[in-house]
A and B are shown apart, each in its own frame.
Chain A
Amino acid sequence: MPLPRTRGTALRHRLAELRGPDVPAKALDARALAALAANPGCKRRAILDGAGVNKAALASALGSPSAFGQSQFALTRGNAFEAKVKADGGAELLRLVHEKLDRSAEPPAGARVPELTATGPEGRTARTALALREATGTHGEWTLLDHPMLALDVAGSPAFLEPDAVVVHPDGSWTVVEIKSFPMLDGSADPAKVGAAARQSAVYVLALEQVAARLDPAPRVRHRVLLVCPKDFSNLPTASAVDVRKQRAVTARQLARLTRIEDIADALPDGVCFSPELPAADLTAAVESVPATYAPECLSACELAFHCRARSRASGAVTSLGRSVRAELGDLTTVESVLSAARGESGDPDDPAVAALRRAARLRAEALGTEAVAACR
């Protein structure tokens, strides 16, 4: 007789079933993290990310392939830059950490760079935790963890994260390092990209804090991360300390109130599976069984956005024009209901949203039409 399964393993099995037989789980990458911040209320994205479904493959199988891709030029350049930053046992990187974050510490002469390879994400996570514990124990030394693996509990299932680097300071505190290949021009970089990097780093900080909490005494995880970018038009690294306290708080709150994946999974009909090998019709039905909250911001953050957009447009939802549109339309959620209310064919005239809409329609017609009041010139 099999042992009674615990809740945790039951969920893991359920998620594996959703993913499809023999489909490996996909780690939560930077884009998924961005989507988490952009649209925390979307159940469809939550369950797909939680189950580790490869959304890009799913989108292609659905017939609405995502437009994300990376140019090999950018990839080569990004890798070359990261390699340059970490060259010589991370000498340059540690110099930047020392200069920007921890000037009172001993300047790094050399650093320990522990070996972190292991099989599977779980193995690498364990290895990373071990290395962090050792490094924190040896006071007075700098340690560089190159591409560690961290696990973060997202809505009841572990998501694996891979920061570019984590540095352990001589005082035992930890710093997240994020290496990006967009330039820092005259000391400032594209705010949108810096914001994305900060949100991403904030998730790493949260994951590190979970590791730290298991140690005694718990080491400090610094809330200022180091963002390393190419300087001006060269490929020389420069860095800036970025305070991610706010992003960390926001992400922590969002993670806490994420609809439990378990609840979403329980609400799904039996036999739902998101394996990209299934025929498109079955997949469409499977995806439809989880409600989505589409907004145009999804286009830059989620692989499934084009599919959701097509569905949203087909149903005439006004949010496909932007979230702000919803705010002023009250209960009216479809294009046709808004337009017929504006024309006076439907809707309650005492509803303030309907009244405002009719006034807007009248003013617009007046400005465009023949009955226009003489323009005040």
Chain B
Amino acid sequence: MSLISTLARLEAVSTGRAQPAATVRHRRLSERPLVFVPLTTAGEAGAPLGALVGTDRDAPHLLVVPQPRDRDLRFAFLAELADVVLPYIDAYAEDVEAAERNETDPETGQRVKVEVELCADAPQLIVPSRAGVDFVRLLGRSMRFRRTAEQDPEAPYPAPPRVPLLGRWLTHFAERARVPGSSLLLAMTDVLARHWATGQSTLEDQHLGALLAWIDLPDGETGAEAALRAELARDRDGQLLCPPAGPATDPAFDNKLLAPAIERYDRARTALAAAEDGLEADDRLGDLTAAEREIRALVASRTRPTWDAVWRGLDRLRELPEAARVEERWTRDRWSFTGHRDRVVAGEPPQPRHDDAVTAANKLAAREREQARLEAQEALDDPLVMAGRRLSGEAFAGEVTDVVMAYSEGKRPSPRPLVTVRTDDRPHLGERAKVFRSLGGKPQSAEFVGYEGDAEDDSALIVLRVLDKMGRGKEPEEGSVPEKGDVLCFTLFEHEQRGGAKLPDPEQTPWTHGGPPGEPESEAADPLTEEDVL
């Protein structure tokens, strides 16, 4: 944590409300995000209990598994989920625009431009917390290798159609969420904590209710009081007033409310199965429906507060203007979405359980590159973030006090003007260190020449030699050289990220990394055992 954000947190403690940690919004928010608030069954892997999902904050779809250990009911839940999520994704897959992409021509080996489709917009999934992102990944993994009856007539427990497809999409969303700065799948706690500093620790910020208590404060209360209530307050039956944002539920809820309700449901189902005639069956069906309705009400009561909290968080985030470079990062998300759409259409198999060496290395390299890009772009978009970089000596701002024209030595002298900047910042400038400033959205580089004289009080006079972006002529282009009196900000970090060295094709994987992956074998579905009824 930088000292600036520590200070913001301390101010939040002292004032009793969250303080800004950003002046603009650094993530894209879709106009029509799909909010997903899942709950899971404690102790079981991949056994959902229910969820609220949808794009309309007033009318979420409530999906419930009345007996989470029952495979058929789980499949019914997943099929319903697919019915909500897949049409939402498809709506974005159809609307495309033309774009160009560099590709290597397989015959000549040359880089050529290819006309391709790019989806005009991309879907966006929003979950309450980071645990929700992990749950999306888990759901994706649990579904994508399932076989439908159509794919494999012999499958002992065929999955409903479209469930494997939903698994592939959720896997893609979760995988994309690992790329810094992406917005296809967002955890509300992460986005809120990026933009506001609360008077509590980062660990406590992972509780959506407590975090929002600081940011979206009820009248007449301090953030600390409201957050404490969100964390711990219980009603007379010992139930949390603000249920956890999931997917894990509160043990007191499981033990006191959910377990008895599931037991009643099980009893009603056994009774129905044992009914001897139609009249009796009708009666018992009524009991079963009542028991199921009870569980639905329980699940709704635990997800609805979180659902509302997510939308309140969205309201607050929308009040911030979007940062300038968010659009560029969102375009990368659109490429990612379009790429996966094309792989699905082309009938490629689901994402493998383990990436091969080249794919894994590429993913890691991409994440590192995007992390550096995100850090640079956020600083350039947001003076508050830049303030943190200036404090740590990675940037400096100040007024231009002098500009002296100079030229490079050589056959064709080019302009290399010397610019003196007065700054109060203390950048860590090494000999001939390169610095960058943004000129019309493009980085202009300069070289550190030295410090000039003794400046009064704390400020320093830094002499820089401007190196590029001044045109081809002997005289620099209009506006390309700083003028006396300009207030500028230079960074020591680069504004744009270069890609790393190219990795070999997967077929050329060296033996040190396991050798070529060979023919892609179709991944078998997870074996189902009889006792797999969890």
Contacts and interface: CB of A to CB of B under 8 A. Distances in A.
Whether chains A and B associate is yes
Interface of A: 67, 69-78, 181-183, 185-187, 230, 232-236, 296-297, 299-300, 306, 313, 316, 318, 320-322, 324-325, 328-329, 335-336, 338-339, 342, 356-357, 359-361, 363-364, 366-368, 372-377
A71 B387 contact: no
Contacts of B388: 363
Contact of B43 (A75, A342, A359): A75
B427 to A, nearest CB: 13
A76 B43 contact: yes
Given A72-B254, A322-B203, A375-B383, A338 B41 contact: no
Nearest to A325: B6
Nearest to B203: A296
B383 A367 contact: yes
Given A71-B255, A367-B383, A321 B9 contact: yes
Contacts, number: 163
B384 A367 contact: yes
B251 A339 contact: no
B438 A377 contact: yes
Nearest to A322: B201
A72 B259 contact: yes
Nearest to B240: A67
Interface residues of B, number: 69
Given A329-B6, A336-B14, 19 more contacts: A69-B252, A73-B44, A75-B43, A233-B45, A233-B142, A234-B528, A296-B200, A296-B201, A299-B203, A313-B224, A320-B200, A322-B203, A325-B1, A364-B4, A364-B384, A366-B383, A366-B387, A373-B397, A375-B489
Contacts of A324: 1
Given A74-B43, A233-B142, A322-B202, A376 B386 contact: yes
B6 A71 contact: no
A72 B255 contact: yes
Nearest to A357: B3
A70 B526 CA distance: 29
9 contacts: A67-B231, A328-B3, A339-B11, A339-B14, A342-B7, A359-B391, A360-B2, A360-B4, A373-B383
Nearest to A76: B43
Interface string B166-201: 000000000000000000000000000000000111
Contacts of B491: 376
A359 B387 CA distance: 10
Residue of A183, A316, A339, A373 contacting most chain B CB atoms (<10 Å)? A373
Nearest to B325: A377
A376 B377 CA distance: 11
Interface string B478-502: 0000000001111100000000000
- Closest 8 interchain pairs by CB? A74-B43, A376-B489, A71-B42, A69-B251, A77-B43, A296-B201, A71-B254, A183-B45
Contacts of B250: 69
B127 to A, nearest CB: 18
A324 B5 CA distance: 12
A338 B3 CA distance: 11
A199 to B, nearest CB: 18
Most B CB within 10 A of own CB, among A306, A316, A376: A376
